[in-house]
Structure 1
Amino acid sequence: RDPAQMDPGRVSVSAVLPAGGSGERLGGATPKQFCAVQGRPLVSYAVRALERISWISDIVVVVSPENVQTMKTIIEKYCHKRVTVVKGGITRHRSIFNGLKVFAEKEFSSHLLQKPEVVIIHDAVRPFVEEDILSKVVMAAKEHGAAGAIRPLVSTVIASAADGCLDHSLERARYRASEMPQAFLFDIIYEAYQQCTNYDLDYGTECLHLALKYCKTNAKLVEGTADLWKVTYRRDLYAVESIIKDNLSQEVCVITSAKENVAQVGLLLPEFLKSQIKVEAVSISQNKNDSHLQNIFSGQCYNFVCVNDKMCAIQETQHLVDMLEKSDIPLLYPVVLI
């Protein structure tokens, strides 16, 4: 059976999100994962991309010790769920290892999370991961033990000699760029990290290589999409902002009252709108605690259609607009239709 066609919901899955980098190449005092894009930290977009997937049970975000409280504040502000914050190590591999320990070592965390069958490892600075590629790497890892997204090389890789002259070049068609997300049977990647030498923990960067080196597990390589790129330089933040604006301007939330005839209109609207715009959700509540309204307040959806059947309902709608104004979300192109 094709692993891509299997149901990841039948496999217990959790995710580890290393977010402890200093962002030296980005420049500036703020690490890139905490840089604001449309008023929201970059790491929050990556967390949201994972938590929107129902079959991912737990999300472990690993940050440097000095940023633990910052990350907890982000989780609270943007109402993230199923997220645990862990102190990272001095290198990427040590941070990932710390994230894995939360599932396996009681002494490492006050709250031991249930060990998953498959664990996803993704980057906090890759905010545009979709469910399709996550499903593919998870099911490939279930079958092969390890799997990772890849992309074609954009430039030819060359090696220089000691004198600074060209030594040789690699055949570009044969090689691929390793990307994220990656997924592993938990027992395999955890064993690999347990056996890892200090040199690999301090200087290594490739998780798939650890699974191969220490557990003899040949990872399945899964063709990734163009939006898996990593934010590295400041110009990348502008690209992220542009993509987010474009995505948000193409989504709408339909809000109605609970009255049967009005709710029916709200349920029919997506059929008429789907050729023009993505209907993110349909809510039959204007209560401020409604989960779909919370998405609007947290900046996850900017456009909404509010359906009422009486003029007196204008007060309810005005109250909704007032709540939006007080929520302090950055403005894009909010549209209210009454």
Structure 2
Amino acid sequence: MQNFHPRHYAIVPAAGSGSRMGGAQPKQYLELLGKPLIRHALEVLCATPEIDKVFVVLSVGDAEWGRHDWSALGPKLVPLFCGGATRADSVLSGLRAIAGEAEQTDWVLVHDAARPCLARWHIEKLIHGLAHDEVGGLLAIPVADTLKRADPSRHVLETVPRDSLWQAQTPQMFRYVMLRRALEAATHVTDEASAIEAAGLHPKLIEGDATNLKVTYPLDLHLAEWILNNREG
């Protein structure tokens, strides 16, 4: 039966090692303003009324999660120790794990564990912008810089026109059944929108902003700290 009042579930894949940061500790647990990096986004997701539950998909052997106190985030937060080798594997494992709770037409918002500067207005803009969309979509920002395509020796082959190019962010939001089927069929994608595209569908782009930064390299931690400090101030 059609669900006319769909719920919104968040899935945060957090089973990766964050190797590009160059440290021994998984990136999601690096300290940012006195908290694990992942906690900043989890706090926002759990505090957003439109989000019914927040599932964090961790690796099976994750021992670090239990060393932190997450109780202040409330009952919305649910860890799932079923992460896979890739982001797509982890998201799909999470979708399978919540199959008994989520209805086919419920929305699922997938958010990067390494985007600690997520703000409530990002989530609300995405949810409201996609409420009546048949496919779903993602936060993204138009590409502003000139793009160069390089050869293996890092010499420029060509300048790539940036017209109509967007930089994908998260959250990315799709119906439960649509996202699960897409990921079951396309397991080597780097984000959920790519899986939906592989199914022949066209996700909608909802314009976000550059403060929704993904922490990939050590310098990004300092940028994230500056963003959070100035936003809170």
Considering the TM-score relative to the shorter chain, is it more than 0.5?
Answer: yes
Provide the C-alpha distance between the structure 1 equivalents of 2:21 and 2:31, rounded to a whole number of angstroms.
13
Q: What is the alpha-carbon distance in structure 2 between the residues aligned to residue 56 and residue 159 of structure 1?
A: 40
CA distance in 2, matches of 1:162, 1:33: 31
Q: Does 1:207 align with 2:207?
A: no
Larger radius of gyration: 1
Indicate the SS of the match to 1:174.
coil
CA spacing shift, 1:247–1:135, aligned 2, 3 Å: closer
CA distance in 2, matches of 1:39, 1:160: 39
Q: Structure with the greater relative contact order (CA < 8 A, sep ≥ 6): 1 or 2?
A: 2
Change (3 A) 1:160 1:239: closer
Q: Show the counterpart of 1:255.
A: none
Structure 1: give runs of 5+ residues left out of the alignment. Answer: 1-9, 105-111, 251-338
> How far apart are the structure 2 equivalents of 1:150 and 1:245?
23
In 1, Cα distance between equivalents of 2:73 and 2:9: 19
Do the aligned partners of 2:87 and 2:191 also contact (CA within 8 Å) in 1?
no
- 2:113 partner SS: coil
What does residue 146 of structure 1 align with?
Answer: 136
Residue aligning to 1:265? none
Task: Count the aligned residue pairs.
Answer: 227
Ranges in structure 2 where 5+ consecutive residues have no aligned partner: none
Offset at 1:75? 4.9
Which residues in structure 2 correspond to 1:239-318 (within 5 Å)? 239-248=223-232, 250=233
TM-score by length of 2: 0.87
Equivalent residue in structure 2 for 1:59, among 30, 50, 54: 54
Q: Does 1:134 align with 2:123?
A: yes
Q: Residue deviations 1:275-305, cap 9 Å, x none?
A: xxxxxxxxxxxxxxxxxxxxxxxxxxxxxxx
* Pair 1:237 & 2:226 matched: no
Separation of aligned partners in 2, 1:191 and 1:75: 35
Paired residue secondary structure (2:149): strand
Alignment partner of 1:118 out of 107, 114, 117: 107
CA RMSD of aligned residues (A): 2.3
Residue 135 of structure 1: CA displacement?
Answer: 2.5
Q: For 1:1-338, what aligned pairs fall within 5 Å after superposition?
A: 11-67=6-62, 69-76=63-70, 78-86=72-80, 87-104=82-99, 112-115=100-103, 117-139=106-128, 140=130, 142-161=132-151, 165-196=155-186, 201-202=187-188, 204-214=189-199, 216-248=200-232, 250=233
The superposition leaves residues 229-271 of structure 1 with CA deviations (integer Å, 9 ceiling, x where unpaired) of 10111121122223333344x3xxxxxxxxxxxxxxxxxxxxx
Normalising by structure 1, we get a TM-score of 0.61
Deviation string 1:138-161 (CA, Å, 9 cap, x unpaired) is: 341641312111112243332234
Paired-residue identity, %: 26
Alpha-carbon separation, structure 2, partners of 1:244 and 1:23: 21
Secondary structure class of the residue paired with 1:182: strand
